[in-house]
Structure 1
Amino acid sequence: MSHLLLLAFYTYKSKCEEAVKAAIEVGFRHINGAFVYGTEEEVGQAIREKIADGTVKREDIFYTGKLGSTFHLPELVRSCLEQSLKKLKFDYLDLFIIHIPVSLKICSPMDEKGKLIFDIVDLRQTWEAMEACKDTGLVKSIGVSNFNIRQLEMILNKPGLKYKPVLNQQTAAFCKSKDILLEAYCDPVMGAIAKKYNRSPTLVALHYQLQHGLVVLFKSFTRKRIEENFQVFYFQLLEEDMKTIDGLNKNLRYLHLIHSGPPTKK
């Protein structure tokens, strides 16, 4: 892939298909999905259409799927994967990760008051089932998401470990641990740097992370915003500006993080 970027589609189903097609046409190749997003059918349809019209081949697309929290029991892991594959109409996933290290009851994840009903599942057994999925060829790589150090070590130190997680996908928690500035619209220093490169402060903040070797999650569902986000590849921050932003991060006590949930209706 020329660009390892992700688009998380939490958006409404009616907009999701067009957003994915626009993203592929613009140049994005890494699509970040999940069972719980409820948009796999739309994402799969969009990708197949862009394959059919010759824009991309299946091997050009890197698709990440996620194991739902009600499927942590080892006997249910493959079922979740197969349901995702059926909705996407794919033969395989490029990456399959445990969405969050929190298990929920399969019968009903919420009680009568709307509160989540948690389950007790040994995630080491869940991981063994993930390894089995990789062995079948239904997934090429496996990983985790939002795991803390203790949880990662639990997997890595598991007797008989066959495959290590290829990544731990995190957003706010990871950024906070690394003192990463995600949004600085009103910061005068960021504003000055953005003006210097004739870019928006948002693009500068995003490129700052890319230049530090991080993978950035983009959540866009309009073509205009998708095209704007792709401009992040067309400039390079000077070392002096990277150090300036590094200094901002060290002095930042509270991070104003870009919201990664569903868009609100206007």
Structure 2
Amino acid sequence: MSSKAVTLPSGGSMPLLGLGTWLSPPGAVQEAMEVALDAGYQHFNCAYFDQSKADIGEALKRTMGEGRLKRDDLYVVSKLWNIFHAPQDVKLASLETLSLLKLDYLDLCLMHSPMGIGNINGELVPQKDGLLLHSDVDTWRAMEKVVDKGLVKSVGVSNFNVSQLERLLSVCRIKPAANQVELHPYLTQPELVEYCKSKGIVLIAYSPFGCPALPCPLGENSPVPLLENPTMKEIAQKHGKTSAQVLIRFHIQRGIATIPKSITLARIMEKAEVYDFHLTRYESRCWKD
């Protein structure tokens, strides 16, 4: 009923449904990867900050070693963490990522955020004051060179707003292929979605069910969790689906890739069953409150 992949401006296609790994417990990612591969997932999303690349690498190595999948069957995404934004660090960080993932190239590498901070003894989030800031433009130019060397097929960004994208587009040699941001019915970001669409930049939605792991700034006035939203549950019941499946469909139906996280067999399998129903125009717009 809809495409299962989207074409990137840099060429090639990316599966719209992927498996995210953020906040997965240590040791659980490898098992989740095995289950997802058996369930037909091809798109896998990780990041230096997640500290899960070694587990992902083991799962990919086993899968390809057993002949279950070829490298071309997989779409692997990682991110350049903020402490590696200095141009001289970009290639080294890419090589380290590939070593941990046991791959020769990444399908897509994203700048994790526009903010580059000083690398202080490899601390993920340095606590010292007066950190050196690196220009995202300089970082981007170094990422373009990583593409030239064949270490990465496509490059993109994450957590960029419209003005930040405009700055990159005004100077880039290789256009950002994708922008990965938080997107869901409580945070639809219509201006950003429309802008990316107009520029041919593919959107990847993280936290498609909202972000219950993080505190809501509204406190007691925060909305009902998306998975428990009464309207959401009503729509899901109408289609014979779960709220999670409807939320994934919300993105895929609009050509937006999404990377829900799960580490359990049943839920990983469930989230793959999103191509056999269609949300109406009303259903895709009615659950913002």
Question: TM (normalized to structure 1)?
Answer: 0.83
Q: Structure 1: which amino acid aligns with 2:283?
A: T
* Conservation of the 8 A alpha-carbon contact between 1:102 and 1:118: no
1:188 and 2:230 equivalent?
A: yes
- Name the % identity: 30
2:244 aligns with one of 202, 206, 230: 202
Where does residue 259 of structure 1 map in the other structure? Answer: none
SS in 2 for 1:155: helix
Query: CA separation in 2, counterparts of 1:20 and 1:116?
Result: 39
Where does residue 278 of structure 2 map in the other structure? Answer: 237
CA deviation string 1:111-131 (max 9, x = no partner): 6xx577643111111111000
* Conservation of the 8 A alpha-carbon contact between 2:80 and 2:93: yes
Where does residue 99 of structure 1 map in the other structure? Answer: 112
Report which stretch shifted further, 57-66 or 11-20: 11-20
* Conservation of the 8 A alpha-carbon contact between 2:85 and 2:139: yes
Query: CA separation in 2, counterparts of 1:184 and 1:34?
Result: 25
Where does residue 182 of structure 2 map in the other structure? Answer: 171
Give the paired residue count.
243
Q: CA 1:127 to 1:47, structure 2 compared with 1: closer, same or farther past 3 Å?
A: same
CA deviation string 1:175-197 (max 9, x = no partner): 43139984634443332221121
Normalized per residue, which structure has more helix? Answer: 1
* Conservation of the 8 A alpha-carbon contact between 1:4 and 1:29: no
* Conservation of the 8 A alpha-carbon contact between 1:25 and 1:55: no
* Conservation of the 8 A alpha-carbon contact between 2:115 and 2:136: no
Where does residue 77 of structure 1 map in the other structure? Answer: 90
Where does residue 261 of structure 1 map in the other structure? Answer: none
Where does residue 20 of structure 2 map in the other structure? Answer: 8
Where does residue 217 of structure 2 map in the other structure? Answer: none
Where does residue 221 of structure 1 map in the other structure? Answer: 263
Q: Please state how far the C-alpha of 1:215 moved relative to its aligned partner.
A: 0.9
Q: CA 1:116 to 1:23, structure 2 compared with 1: closer, same or farther past 3 Å?
A: farther
Query: CA separation in 1, counterparts of 2:144 and 2:106?
Result: 14
Query: CA separation in 2, counterparts of 1:173 and 1:198?
Result: 21
2:50 aligns with one of 37, 51, 66: 37
Where does residue 286 of structure 2 map in the other structure? Answer: 247
Where does residue 255 of structure 1 map in the other structure? Answer: none
Q: Please state how far the C-alpha of 1:245 moved relative to its aligned partner.
A: 3.5
Report which stretch shifted further, 199-208 or 130-139: 199-208
Query: CA separation in 2, counterparts of 1:115 and 1:210?
Result: 41
